[in-house]
A and B are shown apart, each in its own frame.
Chain A
Amino acid sequence: MTAAVIVFPGSNCDRDAAVAIEHATGTAPTMVWHRETALPEVDLIVLPGGFSYGDYLRAGALAAQSPIMNDIVARAKSGIAVLGICNGFQILTESGLLPGAILRNAGLNFVCRDVALRVENNLSKFTDRYDLNEVVHIPVAHHDGNFQASPETLDRLEGEGMVAFRYCDDDGEPGGSPNGAARNIAGILNDAGNVLGMMPHPERVADARLGGTDGAKMFDGLATVLA
């Protein structure tokens, strides 16, 4: 699997994502500055966490207009896998690649802690290594993670298996959202299943030395599926 990690001004999880990808594939991804207009041929594109453009206007809104985004939208529409983590998820909703919008956390606080997630769909490229309904622990670190969409859109996300992860308790019972997200949604797929946006950071638990490997399964699974 070959991968590109996009670097925006204010990205701060780009190198963590690169380490997790290299760990899974043995090959370092190409780091692509947002001012570029064309991506190399890759199997996976990662929009990393951080605070692109200082979250000016709305989190992810200005990054969604970066020059590289035209090619990312085109690749996503052609079926290339795109993973947006945290700020990357915000950029994916702002660019229209994923439905809904992400608002300020309902409690207004920046939330930085481990959360339990239930795997709601294990048939995607991203969740292949997880069991259905498996409970995993992955950290969140965000001020704007409150995913919202119209009731019709939420029904469609749930009805069509587009919810990938939901906040839950340690027994897998949905709830305990750290940000007030509608229906405890932590991560969603697009219709075609090749774009995943999620607020938690799988790249931060991709090595036992960093406290966990629940996130490594995502990168290991992608490395197998996209080999």
Chain B
Amino acid sequence: MKARIHITLKSGVLDPQGKAIANALGNLGFQGVDGVRQGKYLEIDLAETDPGKARANVNAMCEGLLANMVIEEYAVEVSE
């Protein structure tokens, strides 16, 4: 199975990189960008075939290493 993971800063955490990206988009002439939040995207190939088990395993990976739960949150999608 494949797990697709998005890791982003929690909503209250300041994101200076996102802000700089938003400014750069404005400089390029893109109007109406109200805000940018940047983060990480990971794909993990798993030997597990049970979606429930795969998801539980990936959640544990996120909380143990992939995300810093003090400042970040994660979202997991699991597919064939």
Contacts and interface: CB of A to CB of B under 8 A. Distances in A.
Given A57-B65, A65-B65, A100 B70 contact: yes
A108 B17 contact: yes
A104 B13 CA distance: 12
B13 A107 contact: no
Contact of B71 (A57, A107, A148, A180): A148
Contacts of A148: 13-14, 70-71
B interface, size bucket: 10 to 19
Given A148-B71, A149-B70, A104 B65 contact: no
B65 A180 contact: no
Nearest to A150: B70
A1 interface: no
Contacts of A104: 16-17
Nearest to A58: B68
Contact of B68 (A101, A108, A150): A101
B20 A103 contact: no
A61 B65 contact: yes
A50 to B, nearest CB: 19
B66 interface: yes
A106 B18 CA distance: 11
A94 interface: yes
Contacts of B20: 108
Interface in B9-62: 13-14, 16-17, 20
A103 B71 contact: yes
A219 to B, nearest CB: 30
B25 to A, nearest CB: 16
A105 B14 CA distance: 11
B70 A106 contact: no
A94 B68 contact: yes
Contacts of A99: 70
A104 B16 CA distance: 8
Nearest to B13: A148
Interface of B: 13-14, 16-17, 20, 65-66, 68, 70-71
Given A103-B13, A103-B14, A107-B16, 4 more contacts: A57-B65, A93-B70, A101-B70, A106-B16
